[in-house]
Amino acid sequence: MNKFIFLIAILLTCNIALAQKQPKALALATADSTNFSVNSRAGWQLFNSYVAPINTDSATIEIIIQHDRTIDFTQEQLVGYIKRKELFPKANQNVSFSLISDVYQLRIDPNGRCYLRLTTGSLPDGDPVIIPVRAVYKR
């Protein structure tokens, strides 16, 4: 029994040591990307996503995304795509949301592409920037 516990302790220690040597992108938790795909080519990373209908004519999108400060957040940035066509809006949807005193705008086009920009305020401290997005839009 003691040998078994010792073996488990060694494996856990090795796993933690390997995880600490991983590049930042590989050390992140794997997000559920069933209904949303992040624009990783542009440097965005996805921590979590949730896109689902909330009634017959609207849906909710909740994503937690990350990017470094190398882009202009006051300009629209393609952050990702909604995957399920039944969740696409019929027309462009511009949804504003606030994070304390900062206001962001999320635009979702009829093909499910999601664009984000900072409209007023400033980015959260730190590099990279992590932004939680939560919006309801018309389908």
89 within some domain? yes
In terms of residue numbers, what domain contains 131?
29-138
H or E element at residue 37: strand 36-38
115 within some domain? yes
Separation of alpha carbons 37 and 60, rounded Å? 15
Assess whether pLDDT exceeds 70 at residue 33. no
| DSSP one-letter string for 52-68 | EEEETTEEEEEEEEEE-
3 within some domain? no
CATH number for position 47:
2.60.40
60 within some domain? yes
- For the chain, the domain total comes to 1
Q: Residues 42-85: pLDDT tens digits?
A: 999 999 999 999 999 999 999 999 999 999 999 999 999 999 99
pLDDT-above-70 percentage for the chain = 76
23 within some domain? no
